[in-house]
Amino acid sequence: MTVRRILVALIVVSSAFIAPAGAQTTTDYLGIRTSALGRAVRLAKTASLAQAVGISPTIELNVQRHSDPALEITELATRFGMQLTPLQLGQVASLRRLDGDLQAALADTIGAFTGFKIAASAGTFADVVAARGVLLDSVVRLEAFGGADVEHSGICAPLDLTPVLLLDVTGCDNVYDSDWVALSIDFGGDDVYRNNAGGVSTYDGRGAPTLRGPAAATIDLDGDDLYEQDWKPWYFVATNGSALFGSGFLLDAAGNDTYIGGNGSAVAHMDLGPFIIPTPSLRPVSSGFLMDVGGDDFYLGCNGCAAAFSHSFPAGVARALLFDAGGFDSYQSGSPRYPGETRTECTDAPKNSGPPNGDFDERGAAVGAQIDFPHTDCPT
């Protein structure tokens, strides 16, 4: 049985045991009353495991975890080779004024991302899936402190430790236009992302190492958000959870969101192309991941949505997953510069799409899947 058939079978079977997003439930997940996000996370983890069939883990993620977010941030910065200044250390220490439970949940998510980075650095795709599952579970816990009910002091000043971290616990509307950031966490507000938004490019399209990886993640807990990146057809810019020789991650937990990917969303790309020169540090794994929970969403650039490419890289493993859990969603192929036809999805069953939202293999192993779960009130 092919990986694609296993993926479809597992998702359909799993969905039969999970209530629709708006349904009442008495079950718990991770000790938390099941939310739409919790149910979607379980399905996304099932899909990820299906994509990893036949691949064995190779490392143990023994990451020391703290309940103090300041310690987790300091450790994360060290792993990315960033030395925090005294001013930045003071800003990080101010997080200890937050509620104790919020501190613990925030530290858990940051620590989970550290494990995700380690898996992307040294592990197989199975290791990446395991670490990604831990990161997803941590967001389920964190969600209890974000969303529409988040309160802020009126001072909208996210903690900016780029290129390592952007953190906003205020619920303000933000515009994130930094060039690249490893981890971004936003608790609420209608935000605009003009950066990599969880995308990672170890190498660019002209063969130069970017030193931006091997992992990135963006987590947005609420709000009607816009993910808007420039279209650069000559230059591979990994955005919206996409990856070029690394592991990307984007999770938007709520809201009516718009994704405009310069080179697609949730793309796993392993094309060496005519310029990239292989080096011993070049990881043979690309993993793209975008998960949206609820809301009526619009995806532009879907000639490269959930697409996986493994080209001219014999040992390469490319996996891409776009998982939309509900809502009346629209997918438009092409790009802002080269628009294509619009497809509107409002299905009655889980869907696993083929090309153009699919795979491309040439001497490597590529699997791409786009899964969109139904909205209970589809227009007639």
Taking alpha carbons only, the member of 192, 152, 165, 155 closest to residue 109 is: 165
Cα 233-239-242 angle, rounded to 5 deg: 100
Residue 150 clears pLDDT 60, i.e. is over it: no
| Cα distance between residue 38 and residue 159, in whole Å | 27
What digits encode the pLDDT tens for the residues 88-120?
Answer: 999 999 999 999 999 999 999 999 999 999 999
Residue 18 clears pLDDT 90, i.e. is over it: no
Query: pLDDT at position 304, please?
Result: 56
- Which residues are within 8 A (CB) of 60 and not within 5 positions of it... i.e. 6 or more apart? none
Taking alpha carbons only, the member of 252, 318, 311 closest to residue 283 is: 318
Mean pLDDT, rounded, of the chain: 75
3-state secondary structure of 169: coil
What confidence tier does 134 reach under pLDDT thresholds 50, 70, 90?
very high
**In sequence order, what DSSP letters do the residues of 102-146 get, joined into one string?**
HHHHHHHHHHHHHHHHHHHHH--HHHHHHHHHHHHHHHHHHGGG-
Top pLDDT among 72 and 264 is at: 72
Query: pLDDT at position 30, please?
Result: 55
What digits encode the pLDDT tens for the residues 161-215?
Answer: 999 999 999 889 999 988 789 999 999 999 999 988 998 875 555 555 555 678 9
What confidence tier does 246 reach under pLDDT thresholds 50, 70, 90?
confident
Q: What is the mean pLDDT of residues 140-165?
A: 77
What confidence tier does 230 reach under pLDDT thresholds 50, 70, 90?
low
